[in-house]
Structure 1
């Protein structure tokens, strides 16, 4: 069951009434300049041998890559298919590629660790540790060389829908004040009309979410499930660095009921990508994902690695963990869904760049055939089912759901699924969405310990926000819509203790006035790093994340 508290769509009738808006006409509009959207754009123009196909990519970030964050170990399979000479060109365009070396998979105890057999899907020979922000900038340059209009700073706000057919998007306005009134610098965002629209908005895309109840995208699917990942990049002492080393962990600091794990990737230039992911199906209303990340760094082995190190940057985002069971419908009239928007992340492999790109490439093939040979867009689904992409995800479909019963049963199930290569005649299901799993205050006896705030290795949430380079125009309307704020200071405060104050990695939600007996929800929207956890984990489904003015949000350089 999805949280479907969404803003209204723009119908054809409403669009006609807004006749002052400019209209940009394209054959194909791609929403989101992530790996899926840019791969789709490149593949479309590669097929367009006569150069007549018009393609645009709309990106809400101020610059391409500014909102792109991943671990990130890149499996190059899709890139090799799309751009065989990409390694030399990417490196020349500023993409750092570190060949992955030794793999380790560890179970962390509070003070030590046990090395476990590394599952085959987590072997990284032939892969690269890289930066998704850098990679998307390179892909955008390749797309532009082929004639794609790549448009950063253009926020797609809503889908344009006529009945059951999508025919484009409405982009966001500039220059509204906090109350939504036009200011001196006001400019209406244009409507973008397209014969086909590809939605590659990333995890929990706000337009895709708005289409779920309208077009039945989740019909006969399991509820979606997500994780929240926090990432930091450190420069460590040379003697602590082992270029190419890849470490994944389970165990500490989460309890036995909570799905989570960490990573440590040794990049070039003595840099280390370190991060922690916690499944958003956790039950403890007091849990703070950012605290788990800080406690992860306090583990003796991680602390030793970071001794004398310098913290360079930080970030966070939600990620899709639902697998094939929860994947949205891939095709509707006028639109296709690609990448993390649709749910192509391979959770057991802890990778999604190659799967996102492949989905975009297959969508591009289906789109081109639709426009040139009048084949139905539904061919996209069939192309996916015949590809290595579907085969890869089908093999691991039961691994993440197996952890609903705890880590040890989950590991045993994962071993079975790995040995049988996913050939079991059953598919494990999820019964509850993440917002339904949280227990009330006092019902969950787990207490997540705090971290040592005096440690040079730990940071508070606002320091983390500063390291994301996040910037918003504070005079614009808030992009975080709370349908009924009174619930926050009544039912939610009493039953769950306002978990929004805890699960948000940026301290956006704050209950003020408690001491005076006049509690009130304060939304610090300028802090928002666009992770979208609030839209996922809010138990009452009253929070809706929408896109702010184009160019707002984090400004990642190397994440």
Structure 2
């Protein structure tokens, strides 16, 4: 099929903090050097920020470099951290606040800002457009364009195709967006980034990437409970000793708070449901003190890349670069990735403008972002190997006394999807029914994510072998997809006496957990029609 084609100097896939920082820095450098540069950003969400989900407590170091006058420009960072607390929850009723001396230095949040990352991205998009960048939301980059072994752009997805792949009324074929350099900034487990890493063999160390599933809710809370800038983190209950992760609760402006749980996706028990762990977490008195009497107004979920320095791929390849969480630049020791993602994008822009894309890896490694990740290289492996208490003690020693320079190389070589144990060897988990006050069910949560897909379109959750869910995963692991998915996409149903594996693709919040955790690696998350998926407000 002959398709319309547009050519730019640079095409950027993804309007998150990494992609938009790339666009802004490119435009700044072009203006400084009196050069003309055509820059295009494509975003699969219905608007910029629609698919952005993060805590978020943000370190402003990269933003300070990109726009030193961000305050005067009206950037939506209005809530500096005022209180910074860390807890260990030892039971459903008891919690212990930990002294700061016991915490690894990266977990301290003095000087940071509590924000909505979606709103920051909306602001960054406006700065980019003011600099002459073309930003196209609602267009999903579905395929990579190659000439030989060189990337030459992307193809946006067709619109108006029915489930069988046939054009419907209003059909609009995808467009070729060609570029001298293509920047991939899709976020964690980007479906194109995944292909690029395989095609160009971008792995540069022995550790696989590791992930966590982050679940988050936005609440309106009573005025007498609201403390703008209060930051709370914690670990322990409800997650067991063999499941890593932790929770957060941040007080934003406008009498709002966000609460969330991150569950490491290397957990072993196939009966574990991250969504249900999150729901019962909110009943703990430490968290309920902020939420009680409030109203939940939004829900979302997203996988985060947390493998750190040893899981970083090579970022540069022929015709393009991989940046931000698409490359796994999040610093898990800080539970922050915005500043490192932005810095990777700014460095990519500088490499592109200097005509030396291949130097991006060296530039990143030499930057403060690369050095920061290097100093925390053992942080995640220590928690995975020794658990939250012993691993936390190791990390406090390593970070506070030795600055991340202890002469030990802790590795984490088992991919997350290989960590599940057979269901027969694991205990079932009986989760309490939601009370509709602090805890809720999956369907009402998906409703609050404003998720919408054109139902008569090809299913974007693709099975390599349709026999595996029932023939292998159900027998071995009681088909964990029905529990690890936070949106009720996967179900085991009985139809006319026959067991069926059902995919409710319209519920998908684009978290990518199925692509990561499926033990057979049988599920591939593919991009649906542009504009589909969640539409997060103020998240």
Partner in structure 1 of residue 305 of structure 2 = 320
Deviates more, 1:48-57 or 1:543-552: 48-57
Q: Say whether the 8 Å CA contact 2:309–2:376 is kept in structure 1.
A: no
Deviates more, 1:428-437 or 1:359-368: 428-437
| 1:51 CA drift (Å) | 4.5
Partner in structure 1 of residue 36 of structure 2 = 52
Deviates more, 1:377-386 or 1:63-72: 377-386
Partner in structure 2 of residue 434 of structure 1 = 416
| 1:430 CA drift (Å) | 1.4
Partner in structure 1 of residue 457 of structure 2 = 476
Matches within 5 A, 1:417-456: 417-418=398-399, 419-445=401-427, 447-456=428-437
Which of 219, 223, 246 is the aligned partner of 1:238?
223
Which of 342, 354, 362 is the aligned partner of 1:357?
342
Q: Residues 390-448 of structure 1: CA distance to partner in whole angstroms, max 9, x if unpaired? A: 11111111011111222222112212221211112333211111100000102234x44
Aligned equivalents of 1:428 and 1:166: distance in 2? 35
Are 2:277 and 1:292 aligned? yes
Q: Say whether the 8 Å CA contact 2:205–2:313 is kept in structure 1.
A: no
Matches within 5 A, 1:62-77: 62-77=46-61
Are 2:501 and 1:501 aligned? no
Q: Say whether the 8 Å CA contact 1:344–1:356 is kept in structure 2.
A: yes
* Structure 2 spans left out of the alignment, 5+ residues: none
* Structure 1 spans left out of the alignment, 5+ residues: 1-17
Aligned equivalents of 1:141 and 1:357: distance in 2? 16
Q: What is the aligned length?
A: 531
Are 2:108 and 1:123 aligned? yes
Which of 82, 86, 104 is the aligned partner of 2:66?
82
Partner in structure 2 of residue 556 of structure 1 = 536
Q: Residues 115-140 of structure 1: CA distance to partner in whole angstroms, max 9, x if unpaired? A: 22343212222111110110000000
Aligned equivalents of 2:533 and 2:35: distance in 1? 35
Partner in structure 2 of residue 544 of structure 1 = 524
Aligned equivalents of 2:129 and 2:9: distance in 1? 16
Matches within 5 A, 1:237-316: 237-316=222-301
Q: Say whether the 8 Å CA contact 1:257–1:407 is kept in structure 2.
A: no
| 1:212 CA drift (Å) | 2.2
TM-score with structure 1 setting the length: 0.93
Are 2:485 and 1:485 aligned? no
Are 2:392 and 1:407 aligned? no
Aligned equivalents of 1:365 and 1:243: distance in 2? 37
Matches within 5 A, 1:109-120: 109-110=90-91, 111-116=93-98, 117=100, 118-120=103-105
| 1:355 CA drift (Å) | 0.6
Q: Secondary structure at the match of 1:86?
A: coil
| 1:155 CA drift (Å) | 0.5
Q: Say whether the 8 Å CA contact 2:14–2:42 is kept in structure 1.
A: yes
Aligned equivalents of 1:494 and 1:362: distance in 2? 48
Which of 374, 399, 402 is the aligned partner of 1:394?
374
Q: Secondary structure at the match of 2:282?
A: helix
Q: Secondary structure at the match of 1:48?
A: helix
Matches within 5 A, 1:514-529: 516-529=496-509
TM-score with structure 2 setting the length: 0.96
Matches within 5 A, 1:135-174: 135-174=120-159
Aligned equivalents of 1:452 and 1:109: distance in 2? 22
Q: Say whether the 8 Å CA contact 2:104–2:397 is kept in structure 1.
A: no
Deviates more, 1:212-221 or 1:239-248: 212-221
After superposing on structure 2, the runs of 4+ consecutive aligned residues of structure 1 that deviate more than 6 Å are none
Partner in structure 1 of residue 353 of structure 2 = 368
| 1:176 CA drift (Å) | 0.4
Partner in structure 2 of residue 183 of structure 1 = 168
Aligned equivalents of 1:26 and 1:409: distance in 2? 52
| 1:276 CA drift (Å) | 0.4
Aligned equivalents of 1:149 and 1:221: distance in 2? 39
